[in-house]
Every structure is written in C-alpha cells, then in structure tokens.
Chain A
Amino acid sequence: MALDSKVPQGPLKDKWTDYKNHINLVNPANKRHIDVIVVGTGLAGGSASATLAELGYNVKSFAYQDSPRRAHSIAAQGGINAAKNYQGDGDSTYRLFYDTVKGGDYRSREANVYRLAEVSANIIDQCVAQGVPFARDYGGLLDNRSFGGVLVSRTFYAKGQTGQQLLLGAYSAMNRQIARGKIEMFNRHEMLDVVVVDGKARGIIARNLVTGEIERHSAHAVVIASGGYGNVYFLSTNAMGSNVTAGWKVHKKGAYFANPCYTQIHPTCIPRSGDYQSKLTLMSESLRNDGRIWVPKNLEDVTAIREGKLKPTQLTEDQRDYYLERRYPAFGNLVPRDVASRAAKERCDAGYGVNATGEAVYLDFAASFERYGSEQAKIQNISNPSAAKIKELGQEIVRAKYGNLFQMYEKIVDENPYETPMMIYPAVHYTMGGVWVDYNLMTTIPGCYAIGEANFSDHGANRLGASALMQGLADGYFVLPYTIGDYLSDDIRTGKIATDTPEFDAAEKEVTERIEFFVNNKGTHSVDYYHKKLGKIMWDKCGMSRNKAGLEEAVEEISALRKDFWKNVIVPGTATEYNEQLAKAGRVADFLELGELFAKDALVREESAGGHFREEHQTEDGEAKRMKEFQFVSAWEYKGEPKDAVLHKEALVYENIEVKERSYK
C-alpha cells in the first residue's frame, strides 16, 4: 500500500483552516449513534475522550491505572509551549513551527507541525478556562520561561508540575462527561488487541486487570493514545507500566510503525546508582536555565573526586570544563536535548564522569546563587553584602523557582544540591517514533487513529522541551475531534457494531491463547529477567550512539532473547485474578518484537539525525550529520517476524523552511 499523508493542498498557513471548512460533519443527532474507543487517558487520550464526548459521541475510555488521572503525562515537569508572544520577544506561529522542525532535525512533516503551532495558543486559553493554575506574575498575567533549542520564552508552566496540572485539567473535562454518561470509563483495563472488520477498526479486546476477564468492546473508530515505548530500554523515565502493547497490536493488524529508532535521551536525569534500579528520574530541563554543566578539566581531579579525596566545590573556575558553553557559545547550556546528551556522553566516554560509575556530570547552580544574590542585595539595599549573604539570597530565589526539584534530588541522592553541584546523566525519556499516521492522525488501518506520543508525530528525530504536552493536547482537543468526524460521517447509518462476529471471536481467541501460554508455561526466568536483558542490549547498542556492527548484533541478540523468552519465561498465578506479572509478560513480549524492529530501523537509517546518532555519520567535530537521501519517514509494515518487516518511505518535502545544517554554535 502506498503511503498517502493526505496533507491538504494550498499555502501552509491556510491548510488547516481550509481543511476544517471542507470536511464532512456529523449532525448532533447522529453523533449519539456513534461509538468511539479511546485507549489511554493521558493528555492526548484524556483530552480526546472529553472533547469527543462533548461533541456527542459515545466514548469508551480505557486506562490500565486505577484512574485516568494517573497516566504518565502527569510526570511532565517543565512546561508547555505556545506561540502566544505574551513576552513580546518576537515569537509567532511561524517561529514555533520553525523551531520545532529545526529541533526535529528536519525529519517531521511540515503541515502537521504548522498545524500544531497554529493551535498551540488555543490550548493555553482552553486550559486556563478549565482552571489550570498556570504560574502568573505580580500583574496577574501568565508567566513564561525558556526551554532548550529556542531563543524566545514561550513555555507556560505550573511550578515543576505542568504535566500534572494539564492532565488534571483534561481529567476534569473527562469527569464532567463521565458524570453525564457520555464517557464510559474502564479503569484497570488493558487493551490486548484491535478488531478489524471489513478492513476497518471496529473494536478492541481488553482484559480487566482486576478479575482477569477478557472483554469485547465495539466502536465505529478506535483511537490509540497509549504513549511511548521508552520502557523498551527497561530503565527510562517512563512509568513502570508504560508500554507499547496497544501501538504494537495495531501494528500487527496493519498499521505501519514509523521511525522506531528515534528516541529522546534526556540530558538531565539523576544518574543510576546500582543494578537494582527500577527506573530513572528526570530533573526538569528548566534547570538548565540557571544551572551550568561541567566536568573537571584534568583527569587527576576526576580520579580524586571519584575516590572522595576532592570535592567539586574545591575546583577553581579554570580547573573546570563547561563543555556546553565551550562547544556551543550561542545556545550554551540551553542546546537541544539530543545535543546536550551526546555532549555528556562524549565527556564521560573520555573518562571525565564524576561518580563511581563514571556516568555523571555536574549541574552547578553556584553562579546563579551569586547572580541572583547580588541582584537581591541591590533590591534590598544591602551594601557590601558578604559572600555568604549573597549566596543565601540567591538560594532563596532558586528555591522559589525549583525548590521541589532540589528536594526531590536530595531525597533520592541524599546530597544537598544547594551545597554541592547536582550530578546528572542522560536517560531515555521520550520516543519520537510511533504508529504512522496521516494528516488526519489516522493509521494505515481505516478508523484506527493514533494520537500523542503513540504516533510518530510532529517531532521528527528530536523533540524540543515542552512540546510533548503541546502535541498531546493539540491532538486531543483540537485536531482529532475534527478529523475523526470527517471519517465517521460515513458511519451514521452503520448502527451498533456487533461483538458476536467471527472477527471478535478470532481476536479474543488469540488473546486468550497467549494468556493461557503464559500462566501454564513451566519456565525458569521471571519476566523482569528478560526485560532487563532486553534493556541492556538496547542501551548498549541502540542508545545514545549507534554503529552498524552493534546494531547487527542487537538484531541477533534480541531475536535470540525473544526465542528464549517464549520457552523459559515463568508467570506465577492464574489468568483469572489480579496478576501483575501476567500483564507485564504481555508487555515485555511486545517490547521484544519492537526492540528488534527498532534496531533494524536504526541500521537502515544510514545517517545521524536528532536522537538517532550513527557513529559512522558525524562531522569532524562530532556533530550529527544528516544525509539528504534519508529525508523520509521510515514506515514499517508488519510481516510476521520483525526481520521480515517491509519498509515504506514517506518523502518529507520542505517548501516553507530551508533545510540547513542544524547548528547551535
């Protein structure tokens, strides 16, 4: 099947408006007869469920957690971008569009990104109307902060809990519809397959995670909003339950999977401390507004620090290497995430890592304490303040800005970051790749949509900070409700979809057989054993930098691991009870397939772009080197084993932006 992105004709800035003016609508009376399933209740799924229900559709929403409010969007800290230009610093829809395409290393679809930038301002209006308590300045107006990879302040925030507040906003909109009976909420349910009838997505098979019951749910359209697949690495900043299963199931039923190798490794995470570690914790990118990143200049100092003989605060300025400021004078500590992460890895690989594992760099606020402190001393008319006083005043300002993050750091690391620099290291955070969708956000299965992080989205090969929240809400509140209506307008006479059909029988049988296998297999290794092994292969060979030999090994190793898994995995308990191991087994089984496709995709992409860095393709000073001939989206078609997947290419055309060397120097 040829890929048709269905981007509307016409000038870039009119595409979305024209599109909306010409799509088919469903009249309110007919919407009552149309059902939509939404899998996932994060920013994308939650906002989509609420909006579709407001419009009058009957929505069935599914979450594996005990409440929609717990989806992992809640953990986003820093903020949400919007081209409001409230700060008067020259921001505009075009500039947000430009920054996003450039930040994504020219690997995203122009029309989608422009639409995203266009609706971004509406998101802020909508959220404020819902009662989201964004930070405000003393005049009562909304405040902004700055994020990596841009030169304006367009990030709206709610302390260090922006994702939480936006999700609770979407959740509150859902609650209103749940109360009206327009959303039927299925908590502690997991989608285990999609049901395709006559070529269209018409329902799902879900498992009740409390009783183990397998349920059939039908609808006229199915929306996948199940987030990203960062947990393929085992260790990531994702929630423990985050998984690829919903996306992978639709892939296996005909939806193409795009750019799986585009993974974001976030530069400011708390370094790992031991093998028992279950997950990594992110420290908001906003910290890079005020923190300076460095490692010692001399290897002797590194050794002394590791042995505990030297404290980082004892090093003088000229014994320190502020490598981001050195390499990227224009953007300094605020380079995009992929660049910052690679630079940290480069230093640590060269032996400059400052903790026992050799995988940590410093994020130092001493300069900010001094800068803010001197400013405060002036404001408070303190003449000749002592250095200690300045530091104290400065720390107060920093505490007000990032207090919760500092506290979190101290709880985890047991070191006071006000007195000694924080240690950070990159960690897997977000996946730009995902289910391929057209301009309508529809996958290659008619009637099956993918939104938010679950789709391959608008971020190209690298996502800018504070853009994930923007995309999730844009898709759910403002894009999908239009595009899905155009599709559903054909379904006003279809009537209720029956669930007692051969298609549902077959899908349920497949699901049940797999579960039966797991609980009956007399294996030797736990699910986590396999997940950790997979994670290690992924991190070592498909991590921050990749090469041909490593990727080829990864394909082989993952394939072998998968075979072993299906022979030797052990799942205690039964299928008819609350059984977390069983749920996890299904998720890891899917990760074991995705992981191989991931490596294969990375192998095929013979270039470096954004989060995908191939060691063979770098400039002399170690920057990512894009290849013109790879200016396309890799969309993989399922053909059984991952090694048999067929590549389809969607060429990326840039008519409104000049494709340039991506430089932050």
Chain B
Amino acid sequence: MNLTLKIWRQSDANDKGKMVDYKVTEISEHMSFLEMMDVLNEQLVNAGEEPVAFDHDCREGICGMCSMFINGEAHGPDRGVTTCQLHMRMFKDRDTITIEPFRAASFPVIKDLVVDRSAFDRIQHSGGYISVNTSGNTQDANSIPIAKHAADEAMDAATCIGCGACVATCKNSSAMLFVGAKVSQYALLPQGQVEAADRVKNMVAQMDLEGFGNCTNTGACEVECPKGISLDNIARMNRELMKASI
C-alpha cells in the first residue's frame, strides 16, 4: 500500500504545532499501525529528519501507552483495539490518514503525538485504592466469598487500561468513564465498601479540579474504549456520589 499521512507535529508544549504531510510506500496490510509509523520514522531518520514522537510500549493492547487519534477516532476505525493492535488491513491503498494526538485541555501535548496524561494518575492518588497495608497477615483470601457476578463485573470495570481514549473521544473531554470504572471496581467488591463514600467524593473532586468536562451521555467513550468499558460504570459512579452525599 502507498499512503499519505497527515500528522500533527509540535516540537514541545510551547510550540503552536501544525499538520504535516508525509508519504509512505510499500506498506504491508499485515503491519500494525505502529509498525507503519516505525517505517515512516526509519525513513525520516535516514533522511536526517526528526522522527515523529509517539507513545507506545507493550504493543499488545494492554499497557495503555499508545494514544493516537486516527481519521477522527481514538485508536482509529477498528473496534475494541488500541492503536498498537490496529492493523493496516483496515485501510486501502492510496488512503490519506489523519493522525493527531489525543486532545483535551487536561492532556497537554508534550511533543508531536505524545500527551501528558498525568491527570489520570492524580485522580487515582486521590482515592483509587483500598487502604490496606502489606503485612502478609491480612485475612485469608477465601474468607469473604464474593458472588461470581459481582467479581466478574468488578473485573470488567478493572479492565480499563487508562489510555485516555474516552477523554479524547468525548466532545466534552470528560473523564467519567475512566473514573467511573475505578469507582465501580471497588464499589462492587466488599473490600472497597469501607471507604466507598470518601473515595467517590475525592475522586470526583479531583477529576473536576483537573478540568475534565461533564458527561452528556453521548456514549461515544464506550464505543471507542479499546476495552469495552460500559457506560453503566458512569451511572454507578453517579449513584455512588449521590449515596455518598446524602
């Protein structure tokens, strides 16, 4: 395949940035999207130009590092995948592909396609944990039976990889799917009940402080989420906050 790429280039946080066109040739349809980017970068390095900076690490869809907005969608046109799992067979010869960083005021660009998602970490600091020390003397793991459906549902919420596609996709740059998933994981488990009220209050407060927008229930985040995190988690967070506030 021969492709035209329109890529956002921005040298650092203070640079204004602009879209730049590139051409790549002989792209195999079996390549992953990031391997196609590798080809481009190798080409740029050999030509003495600066390669395109982008975040990536595990390249198997679990670390949550990769974060491209491809042809108007977070992680591109395929469903249930991260950018690293997106394959070039989703595109056609002579396509033009637009590649932009995840956009949100709370995700400032560091360079090119690399953004700063530390806001997510700070939300987690504010309550994304169960306060238990490491002692080795905690009670036996089987001492609290947990209903299978609750455990499974908690697991589904916990599958979130923190990539930020929900924020990038949301027309309001809302982080509620991310926060809702974490709140839900703990709310569904008995271990998480003790601190449930404080947790949801603190995490929502931090989320607001970071400047993320509101949820208007368009459901776009759920569609673009590479892990299929359900919108139900947002509803659960809303309930949890109401419960905690009343």
Contacts and interface: CB of A to CB of B under 8 A. Distances in A.
Contact between chain A and chain B defined by CB under 8 Å: yes
Interface in A46-74: 47, 50-51, 54, 65-72, 74
B159 A161 contact: yes
Interface string A231-244: 00000010111000
Contacts, number: 217
Contacts of A187: 118, 121
A130 interface: yes
Contact of A580 (B53, B59, B132, B162): B53
Contacts of A179: 125-126
Interface in B116-158: 116-118, 120-121, 124-126, 128-136, 138-142, 144-148, 151-152, 154-155, 158
Contact of A67 (B44, B46, B121, B146): B121
A165 to B, nearest CB: 6
Contact of B30 (A50, A66, A134, A274): A274
Nearest to B89: A414
A578 B108 CA distance: 14
Nearest to A173: B129
Interface string B43-64: 0111011110101111111111
Contacts of A239: 57-59, 63
Contacts of A18: none
A577 B111 contact: yes
Q: Which of A71, A136, A161, A239 has the most CB of B within 10 A?
A: A136
Contacts of A51: 134
B65 A172 contact: no
Contacts of A277: 35
Interface residues of A, number: 81
B7 to A, nearest CB: 15
Given A75-B62, A140-B145, A130 B155 contact: no
A441 interface: no
A134 B158 CA distance: 11
Contacts of B185: 131, 133
A281 B58 CA distance: 9
B124 A278 contact: no
Contact of A172 (B85, B128, B146): B128
Contacts of A142: 141-142
B71 interface: no
B81 to A, nearest CB: 6
A306 interface: no
A171 interface: yes
A73 to B, nearest CB: 10
Contacts of A549: none
B190 to A, nearest CB: 9
Contacts of A411: 78, 81, 85, 87
Contacts of A407: 80
Contact of A240 (B39, B56, B114): B56
Contacts of B142: 86, 141-142
Contacts of A185: 121
A528 B38 CA distance: 10
Nearest to B188: A133
Contact of B161 (A131, A164, A282, A477): A164
Residue of A128, A273, A277 most packed against chain B (CB within 10 A): A128
B130 A172 contact: yes
Given A74-B58, A86-B142, A133 B151 contact: yes
B152 to A, nearest CB: 8
Contacts of B58: 70, 72, 74-75, 239-240
A247 to B, nearest CB: 18
Given A65-B57, A172-B124, A176-B129, A129 B138 contact: yes
B11 interface: yes
A572 B148 contact: no
A574 B133 CA distance: 44
Nearest to A187: B118
A274 B28 contact: yes
Interface stretch (A117-125, A252-260, A589-597, A656-664): A117-125
Contacts of A69: 64, 121, 162
Contacts of A478: 134, 136
Given A239-B63, A580-B53, 9 more contacts: A125-B140, A129-B138, A134-B151, A142-B142, A172-B129, A175-B125, A276-B28, A572-B49, A572-B50
Interface of A: 47, 50-51, 54, 65-72, 74-75, 84, 86, 119, 122, 124-131, 133-142, 158-159, 161, 164-165, 168, 171-173, 175-176, 178-179, 185, 187, 210, 237, 239-241, 273-274, 276-279, 281-282, 407-408, 411-412, 414, 477-478, 481, 526, 528, 570, 572-573, 577-578, 580-581
21 contacts: A47-B134, A119-B136, A125-B136, A129-B130, A130-B130, A131-B185, A140-B145, A140-B148, A173-B129, A178-B121, A179-B125, A187-B121, A240-B58, A281-B59, A407-B80, A526-B42, A526-B45, A572-B45, A577-B12, A578-B110, A581-B45
- Pairs A-B, 3 closest by C-beta atoms: A140-B145, A172-B129, A122-B136
